[in-house]
Amino acid sequence: MALTRLIVVVLLGAALPLLFFFFSRAEAGALGVSYGRVANDLPDPASVVNLLKQNGITMVRIYDANQKVLTSLANTGIKVMVMVPNENVAAVASDQSNALQWVRDNVAAYYPATQIHAVAVGNEVFDMRPDLNSDLVPAMTNVQAALAKLNLADNVKVTTPVAFDALAESWPPSAGRFKDSIAQPVMKPMLDLLQRTGSYLSVNYYPYLTYMAQPNAFTLDYVLANSNPGVVDPDTKLRYYNLLDAQRDATYYAMDKLGFASLAVGHTEHGAPSGGGLHPGHGGRRLLQAGNGGAVASVANAQAYINNLMNRVLAGNRGTPHRPDADMDVYIFALFNENQKGTGADDVEQHFGLFYPNMQKVYEFDFRRPTGGGAPVPPATPSWCVANAGVGDARLQAALDYACGHGADCSAIQPGGSCFLPDTKAAHASYAFNSYYQSMNRAAGACDFNGAASIVYQQPTMCAATASWCVANAGVGDARLQTALDYACGNGADCSAIQPGGACFQPDTKAAHATYAFNDYYQRKGRASVACDFSGAATIVDQQPTMCAATASWCVANAGVGDARLQTALDYACGNGADCSAIQPGGACFQPDTKASHASYAFNSYYQSKHRAAVACDFSGAGSVVYQQPKVGNCVLPSNG
Q: Residue 522: enclosing H or E segment and its boundaries?
A: helix 510-524
Q: Give the pairing of strands 631-632 and 59-62.
A: unpaired
Q: Which string of DSSP letters, residue by residue, matches 131-166?
A: GGHHHHHHHHHHHHHHHHHTT-TTT-EEE-EEEGGG
User: What sign does the dihedral 425-427-431-436 (CA atoms) show?
Assistant: positive
410 vs 429: CA distance, rounded Å: 10
584 vs 149: CA distance, rounded Å: 62
Which residue in 27, 87, 124, 349 is the catalytic one? 124
162 DSSP β-pair partners = 203
* 169 is a catalytic site residue: no
Q: Give the pairing of strands 330-333 and 265-270.
A: parallel
Surface-to-core class of residue 130, CB atoms within 10 Å of its CB (0-12 exposed, 13-18 middle, 19+ buried): exposed
The length of the chain in residues reads: 641
Who's near 477: CB < 8 A, 6+ residues apart?
none
CB atoms inside a 10 Å sphere around CB 245: 25
Who's near 503: CB < 8 A, 6+ residues apart?
497, 548, 550
3-state secondary structure 277-330: ECCCCCCCCCCCECCCCCECCCHHHHHHHHHHHHHHHHHCCCCCCCCCCCCCCE
The three-point CA angle 366-368-370 to 5° equals 65
13 vs 18: CA distance, rounded Å: 16
Q: Where are the beta strands (DSSP E) in 548-591?
A: 554-557
Q: Residue 31: enclosing H or E segment and its boundaries?
A: strand 31-35
Q: Single out the residue of 455, 436, 388, 337 nearest to residue 27, CA to CA.
A: 455
CB 179 within 8 A of CB 254: no
Phi, psi of 46 (to 5 degrees): -65, -40
472 DSSP β-pair partners = 538
Who's near 139: CB < 8 A, 6+ residues apart?
84, 89, 90, 92, 93, 99, 121, 122
Surface-to-core class of residue 111, CB atoms within 10 Å of its CB (0-12 exposed, 13-18 middle, 19+ buried): buried
Residue 511 region by backbone torsions, left for phi larger than 0, else alpha for psi between -120 and 50, else beta = alpha
* 269 is a catalytic site residue: yes
Which residue in 27, 87, 169, 269 is the catalytic one? 269
Surface-to-core class of residue 114, CB atoms within 10 Å of its CB (0-12 exposed, 13-18 middle, 19+ buried): buried
Phi, psi of 635 (to 5 degrees): -105, 120
Amino acid identity at 180: D
Q: Single out the residue of 208, 202, 172 nearest to residue 190, CA to CA.
A: 202
Query: From residue 62, how far is each of 36, 182, 618, 619 by CA, in Å?
Result: 6, 26, 55, 54
Packed helices 393-405 and 425-439: angle between N→C axes, nearest 10 degrees: 30
Phi, psi of 410 (to 5 degrees): -105, 15
The residues that are catalytic are 124, 269
